[in-house]
Amino acid sequence: MTILTRLSLLVLVLSTLSVTAQSTKRSGNPVFPGWYADPEGAIFGNRYWIYPTYSDKYEKQVHFDAFSSPDLVNWTKHPRILDSSAVKWAKKAMWAPAIVQKGGQYFLFFGANDVHPGEVGGIGVAVANNPAGPFLDHIGKPLVGEVHNGAQPIDQFVFRDTDGKEYLIYGGWGHCNIAQLTSDYKGFIPFADGTTFREITPKNYVEGPIMFVRNGRYYFMWSEGGWTGPNYSVAYAVGSSPFGPFERVGKVLQQDPTVATGAGHHSVINVPGTDDWYIIYHRRPLTETDGNHRETCIDKLYFDEKGAIKPVRITKEGVEARRL
């Protein structure tokens, strides 16, 4: 074997090792620094996006940052995509954003003011021409500003059904509502019985609802327990429509006393054209007791052969790099 041939083989081996090392690079958890909670995951074009709550005292929680990545490993921060200066009625506690894309625009739904009956606040909508903002108030007032069916107007999620209809699913205080959105996201379309907000609360529901469809089945997920405590967790149910009925199946995300506590308030993303799923959630480091000290993490979500969601193993390593 000539020296040139040996050098060529060495280059090939090193190249292979380099590619292997790159392919096994992992995100680590948390996926980016800082105290962030209630993460909303999305895919726009060839990038992953996460829109979390900036986790601080309610009076300081008056803006949103966003994060984007080409591969789930390398994240870019987009600071202050929306703050209370653009939403005149929002004074504190801006949290749990949800985002959808339509017609070249991006609509960010959010809760503000920790509203109670008789107070101004609730669920708002902001709009931008770029997923990194800047976002501006879409309607100049809350989209949902009152308590319906006992549900505090927070923790909103926008669900786009397979027939194109879009629904706002939301609620705290142990109640969850669903309402059909108008196409401009400025109001709601009443149901056939004349009601606008229909309650779909499953057993043990507390807050943080999301919904997705897989193989024709509707998966409804939510958070249970107290958000400041170690037992915050996620459970789910399965139905045949967005309206259920939803019978609780069980918990799928919860603390691991050797890794972190308070694992909850999540979102789910599916890589288009595949059956690969990820769960994005917040949790509290073992060294922290402050309720607002939460960090954003990502792990794989798996289903068994019958379509049941397998319990999630929360990790320190996170997930492998995955380009879109």
**Cα 152 versus chain centre, distance:** 19
Distance CA 108, CA 100 (A): 7
Q: Is 207 a catalytic residue?
A: yes
Measured CA to CA in angstroms, residue 239 lies from 148, 236, 252 at distances of 23, 10, 17
Query: Is beta strand 47-54 parallel, antiparallel or unpaired with respect to 36-44?
Result: antiparallel
Report helix, strand or coil for 59.
helix
Question: Over 230-268, what HEC string results?
Answer: CCCEEEEEEECCCCCCCEEEEEEECCECCCEEEEEEEEE
Q: Which of 207, 224, 295, 299 is catalytic?
A: 207
Report helix, strand or coil for 186.
coil
Distance CA 82, CA 92 (A): 13
Contact 262, 289 (CB under 8 A): no
User: With 0-12 CB in 10 A as exposed, 13-18 as middle and 19+ as buried, what is 105?
Assistant: middle
Q: Is 193 a catalytic residue?
A: no
Distance CA 58, CA 176 (A): 23
Beta bridge partners of 233: 224
Contact 69, 48 (CB under 8 A): yes
Query: Is beta strand 188-189 parallel, antiparallel or unpaired with respect to 247-253?
Result: unpaired
Q: Could you give the residue numbers annotated as active site?
A: 38, 207
